[in-house]
């Protein structure tokens, strides 16, 4: 009897080991399947990355004609037009808490903090269904630029600078009857001096980054726009929304990329 038990022992031991290995293998497969399900589930629920907006800054002194060119760019390429000045004026008109503060600062001859202006721009960027924006007259200062980069965490794709001789800008503003009530040669030259002092560091910064396009802003509206068109036509994300007049010719106009 003891001999029979002794003979059966190796068989029982071997069978037990086989059962344990089978259970372990089965458990491993279940674990792998469970882990795979979790990974696949995570992949399924992960939201797609949101496409970064296309942002254009437009710079130019009073009388440079940038306002008219902004209208043509928006109409042609479907960008949403944002003006820092308009956003501030809207806050004042709506009598918001920010509006009262902004009005008081302007009355006292003080500059609205960059953070206030940038947060108004941020609100527009985040609430719009459009992903292409043209921001007119911004950034005016290095402080504006730094605040935009810190809060929005984005760089512009294009920075346009409409370069125009001082005499031409003075003549345009004084002849169009659309400037400030007290505009005259003296006040205009003062405004241009302030613009150059504040805006030149911003222009130089984007020039060094290779994002600045300097446009010769002398000529008719259509002539100047012929310098602008090739810049935006070079971006694939704008081609699908382009509405260029088929009768309009690009010609051989040269665009100076100040990079």
Q: Is 141 labelled a binding residue?
A: no
Residue 103: its H or E element: helix 97-107
Q: Is 111 labelled a binding residue?
A: yes
Q: Is 251 labelled a binding residue?
A: no
Q: What is the DSSP string of 125-189?
A: HHH-S--EEEEET---SHHHHHHHHHHT----SEEEEEE--HHHHHHHHHHHT-S-TT--HHHHH
Q: Is 131 labelled a binding residue?
A: no
Q: Is 107 labelled a binding residue?
A: no
Q: Is 179 labelled a binding residue?
A: no
Q: Is 162 labelled a binding residue?
A: no
Q: Is 210 labelled a binding residue?
A: no
Measure the CA–CA gap between 135 and 149, rounded to whole angstroms: 14
Tokens of 171: 């003549």
Q: Is 62 labelled a binding residue?
A: no
Q: Is 140 labelled a binding residue?
A: yes
The CA distances from residue 150 to 112, 116, 125, 138, 154, in Å, are 17, 13, 15, 15, 8
The CA distances from residue 4 to 1, 8, 14, 66, 157, in Å, are 5, 6, 16, 104, 87
Q: Is 211 labelled a binding residue?
A: no
Helix 114-127 to helix 84-93 angle, to the nearest 10 degrees? 90
Q: Is 110 labelled a binding residue?
A: yes
Q: Is 45 labelled a binding residue?
A: no
List the binding residues for a ribonucleoside 5'-phosphate: 89, 110-112, 137-140, 180, 191
List the binding residues for ATP: 63-68, 176, 219
List the binding residues: 63-68, 89, 110-112, 137-140, 144, 176, 180, 191, 219
List the binding residues for CMP: 144
């Amino acid at each position: 009897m003891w001999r029979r038990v002794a003979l059966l022992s190796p068989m029982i031991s071997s069978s037990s080991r086989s059962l344990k290995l089978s259970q372990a293998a089965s458990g491993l497969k279940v674990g792998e399947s469970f882990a795979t399900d979790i990974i696949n589930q995570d992949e399924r629920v992960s939201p797609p990355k949101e496409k970064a907006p296309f942002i254009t800054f437009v710079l130019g002194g009073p009388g440079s004609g940038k306002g008219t060119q902004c209208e043509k760019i928006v109409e042609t390429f479907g960008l949403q037009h944002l003006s820092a000045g308009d956003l501030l004026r809207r806050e004042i008109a709506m009598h918001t808490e920010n509006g009262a503060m902004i009005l008081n600062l302007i009355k006292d001859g003080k500059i609205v903090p960059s953070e206030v202006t940038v947060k108004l721009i941020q609100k527009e960027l985040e609430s719009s269904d459009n992903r292409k924006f043209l921001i007119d007259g911004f950034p005016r200062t290095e402080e504006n630029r730094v605040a935009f980069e810190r809060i929005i965490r984005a760089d512009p794709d294009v920075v346009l600078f409409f370069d125009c001789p001082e005499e031409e800008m003075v003549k345009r503003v004084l002849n169009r009857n659309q400037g400030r009530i007290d505009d005259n040669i003296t006040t205009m030259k003062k405004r241009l001096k302030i613009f150059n002092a504040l805006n030149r560091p911003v222009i130089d910064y984007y020039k060094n980054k290779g994002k600045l396009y300097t446009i010769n802003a002398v000529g008719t509206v259509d002539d100047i726009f012929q310098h602008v068109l090739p810049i935006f036509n070079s971006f694939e994300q704008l081609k699908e929304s382009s509405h260029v007049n088929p009768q309009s010719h690009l010609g051989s106009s040269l665009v100076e990329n100040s990079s």
